[in-house]
Amino acid sequence: MSRQLSVRSFFNKPSNCDGVDKRGEKRGIDAVEDEGQPSKTKTDNVQPAAEGQASGKELKREYRVQWEQEFKWLRREDGKMFCDICRKAKMSNGFVRGCTTMQKSALNDHKSSHSHIEASRVVNQSVAMVKHVEKSQVACNEALKTQLKVVLHMANTNTPSHLYPNLIQLLQSAGCPDLNSAHT
């Protein structure tokens, strides 16, 4: 009695009788015999594959360093692909957890996904907010420096402290750029 090698042979469908599927992976009895051996994955290899391979050869699913030029947000760690933008925005998707599908189509799908687009918007807004806060802090610091110069001048000239508001008002009316009503 012969052993059945695949589901196809059960249904009398023509099959590849060498126990290897179209991708070159063992199946059926051949796959069971190799269970104890460590599997060899193609995704851990980071060597760039040759472009324009012959049509008879199968493309290898490998990470390609040149993808980082097209997808500036792409990072590779521990054999997985990650999205810096989605990580910064604290999104929850496959490129935050780590994507093992080493295909350019996976990168294009992620780039056009709602999650990535929303993450890009969030990151851009947070960058704009940080710049605005920094600019505001610089303006506040300059106003504080000017106010301290007025206080130092008052101390050096023995000017009474009740004149401080009048001196600040004088500087504002003279157009001192560091003093405005929001910072005094």
pLDDT band, very low/low/confident/very high, at 142 (cuts 50, 70, 90):
confident
Give domain status of residue 184, yes or no: no
pLDDT, one tens digit per residue, over 62-109 is: 888 999 999 999 999 999 999 999 999 999 999 999 999 899 999 999
pLDDT, one tens digit per residue, over 43-64 is: 444 444 444 444 556 666 788 8
- The domain in which residue 145 lies consists of 117-173
pLDDT of residue 14: 46
H-helix segments, 24-181: 28-33, 67-70, 84-88, 94-97, 104-111, 114-156, 164-173
Give domain status of residue 180, yes or no: no
The pLDDT of residue 139 is above 90? no
The pLDDT of residue 127 is above 80? yes
Domain-ending residue, one of 112, 129, 149: 112
C-alpha to C-alpha distance for 82 and 51, rounded to whole angstroms? 24
121 and 154 inside one domain: yes
C-alpha to C-alpha distance for 40 and 33, rounded to whole angstroms? 15
**Average pLDDT across the chain, whole number:** 76
106 and 128 inside one domain: no
Provide the number of structural domains found in the chain. Answer: 3
What's the CA angle centered on 11, arms 9 and 12, to 5 degrees?
60
> What's the predicted TM-score (pTM) here?
0.47
Give domain status of residue 47, yes or no: no
The pLDDT of residue 136 is above 70? yes
The pLDDT of residue 174 is above 60? yes
106 and 143 inside one domain: no
Domain-ending residue, one of 112, 142, 165: 112
Are 84 and 90 within 8 A, CB to CB? no
- pLDDT: is 170 or 33 the higher one? 170
74 and 107 inside one domain: yes
